[in-house]
Amino acid sequence: MATLDALQLLRSSIAVSKPPVLTKASDPANAEANQTDSLVEATHLYFTHPAPQCLSLDTKTRFTSQNPDTAQVDLRSIFFAWQQKDVPVPEYIARAAELDKELPEGHKVRNLIFVERLDLITWLEGASEESEYIKPIEGAPALGDAVNRAADVAGGAAVPTASGSGVGVTQSAGGRPVKVIDARLQAIYNGERRMGDHNTVLRGIKPTDFSHVRKHAETFLGRRKGVPSSSTRPGGLPAKPAQLAARPAANSSKPLASAVSSKRSDPIILLSPSASSLLRMSNIKTFLDTGLYVPPDHPTLSTQTTANLLHITRTMHSLSEKPYRFILVDSPEHFKPDYWSRVVAVFTTGQIWQFRGYKWREPQELFGHVLGIYVGEKGLPIPAEVKGWGSSVKTFAVERWDERAHGANVEQETRMSRRWRDRETVEEVWRSIEGYMRGRGEWKR
């Protein structure tokens, strides 16, 4: 039997809820006895579907990385990426770095970038049939019966194969040709899930009567039977513009208050004024808007150091299709009392003196009302104060700045290509802010 493809074998095992396990044995007979949970100790992956077998973790797969040094990704890195499919990007990178410290040279885990890891997990879980990073199988018909039957996920037991190829064979019945389908191919068809178009998904299989919605709308809009609309005259004629302008709001006792409440307030983000903060007023817009981290005292940012208030426009698709305008300040000195209800995030370095002029001066109380964000340098420990403030303070890390690789003498396009991990961190920061705003419920659609 031909050597089975590792990626296809892993995908089919996940599809039938029989994922492989790590083992220290190469013989399937001893695999369960030598099972382990450590990627450092393990040497093979033990598969039970479609037949017991062990594959070395050093096996090269068809998954190709954009990194030319790691063009073909090994099975160890593929399995590790799938194990970490539910963790955010910074945590995945940190765990990969910790694992590489224990693995010997030549067996290191290949760190997949965000788009590669997302594409891999989507393909392994069956949500996508194609991947731009996976090379096609060479000599697919020679993979053997085991891989062919792996696609028979929902078809039940194996179906015997008809003699010959069986596909496209025609027989004559009553003088008319009849097409015969191979039994194995028919079993695959039986296991397919029928996909509907947008009509069946949105409208269902039978018409729905929504006339009752109109009755509820009339109740809330105040357009009951016998009550003329505000835009019509007696007799059903449309009102003239002069009449609409002169007519007072009969159903609104507080027209000014209703007009003010209908206007959406701009959310506020507070920065740390500390000189040790990696993100200050000079570089926060470059970081959050373009996804590029530049040190706050860098010469290229000298024109932005005098600003004490900035605006950033960002679309939160889960809240509204209309973009939000965020206000960024590093001090609540000019805050009105109602401004604190608009604060959605506070960037902190872990220094308590930052909260002296705040409405809530104790960190535990402050981060019970707003989201806390700590951005540090990768490789450096997170301050104990930040860890002690609980899960309401999200921590992120950026790559260390290298003036030779990212400095003023480097073109902007090259600089952004070399610091592509910054954009991943920025997206995680915005995702946390969006989740907090969605939980508050004040900025929903």
Q: How far apart are CA 63 and CA 69, in angstroms?
A: 14
Q: How far apart are CA 293 and CA 273, in angstroms?
A: 18
- Torsion on CA atoms 29, 31, 34, 38, rounded to nearest 10: 170
Q: How far apart are CA 176 and CA 169, in angstroms?
A: 13
pLDDT at 141: 44
Phi-psi region of 58 (alpha: psi -120 to 50; beta: other; left: phi over 0): alpha
The pLDDT of 152-177, averaged and rounded, is: 45
If we measure between CA atoms, which residue out of 113, 103, 54 comes closest to residue 81?
113
Centroid of chain to Cα 168: 44
If we measure between CA atoms, which residue out of 148, 172, 173 comes closest to residue 159?
148
pLDDT at 421: 82
pLDDT at 183: 74
200-214, 289-303, 393-407, 427-441 — which one is most confidently predicted on average? 427-441
List helix spans (H) across 281-347.
Answer: 284-290
**Domain locations in the chain as residue ranges:** 6-150, 268-440
Q: Which residue has the tokens 């109380």?
A: 365
The angle, 0 to 180 degrees and rounded to 10, between the axes of the packed helices 75-83 and 114-124 is 90
Minimum mean pLDDT among 28-37, 348-357, 406-415: which range?
Answer: 406-415
94-103, 134-143, 145-154, 187-196 — which one is most confidently predicted on average? 94-103
Residue 118 burial (10 A CB sphere; 0-12, 13-18, 19+): middle
User: Using 50, 70 and 90 to split pLDDT, how confident is the model at 90?
Assistant: confident
pLDDT at 406: 58
Q: How far apart are CA 193 and CA 445, in angstroms?
A: 34
The pLDDT of 74-100, averaged and rounded, is: 90
- Torsion on CA atoms 331, 335, 340, 341, rounded to nearest 10: -140
Q: Give CB contacts under 8 A, 24+ apart, made by 57-63.
A: 57/107, 58/107, 59/6, 61/6, 61/7, 62/5, 62/7, 62/134, 62/135, 62/136, 62/137, 63/7, 63/120, 63/131, 63/133, 63/134
Give me the amino acid identity at 335. Answer: F
What average pLDDT is seen over the chain?
76
For the question of whether the overall pTM of this predicted structure is more than 0.85, the answer is no
Q: Which CATH architecture has domain 268-440?
A: 3-Layer(aba) Sandwich (3.40)
DSSP 64: E
First to last CA, the chain: 58
Angle at 97 between CA 93 and CA 103, to 5 degrees: 140
The pLDDT of 251-279, averaged and rounded, is: 66
Structure confidence by residue, pLDDT tens digits, 124-141: 988 888 888 888 876 554
The percent of residues in the chain predicted with pLDDT above 90, rounded, is: 19
Q: How far apart are CA 402 and CA 406, in angstroms?
A: 6
pLDDT at 299: 76
The percent of residues in the chain predicted with pLDDT above 70, rounded, is: 69
Q: How far apart are CA 143 and CA 126, in angstroms?
A: 20
The pLDDT of 218-247, averaged and rounded, is: 51
pLDDT at 411: 58
**Which has more pLDDT, 236 or 4?**
4
User: Using 50, 70 and 90 to split pLDDT, how confident is the model at 79?
Assistant: very high
pLDDT at 181: 65
Say if residue 346's pLDDT is above 90.
Answer: yes
Q: How far apart are CA 120 and CA 63, in angstroms?
A: 8
The angle, 0 to 180 degrees and rounded to 10, between the axes of the packed helices 89-102 and 75-83 is 140
Minimum mean pLDDT among 14-18, 194-198, 286-290, 419-423: which range?
Answer: 194-198
pLDDT at 416: 59
Q: How far apart are CA 292 and CA 92, in angstroms?
A: 21
If we measure between CA atoms, which residue out of 102, 41, 110, 38 comes closest to residue 70?
110
The answer to whether the CB of 273 falls within 8 A of the CB of 330 is yes
Minimum mean pLDDT among 33-37, 154-158, 168-172: which range?
Answer: 154-158
Q: Using alpha carbons, list the distances in angstroms from residue 77 to 32, 87, 206, 207, 281.
A: 22, 15, 48, 50, 39
User: Using 50, 70 and 90 to split pLDDT, how confident is the model at 250?
Assistant: very low
The pLDDT of 397-413, averaged and rounded, is: 67
Say if residue 219's pLDDT is above 70.
Answer: yes
User: Using 50, 70 and 90 to split pLDDT, how confident is the model at 238?
Assistant: very low
**Which has more pLDDT, 33 or 2?**
33
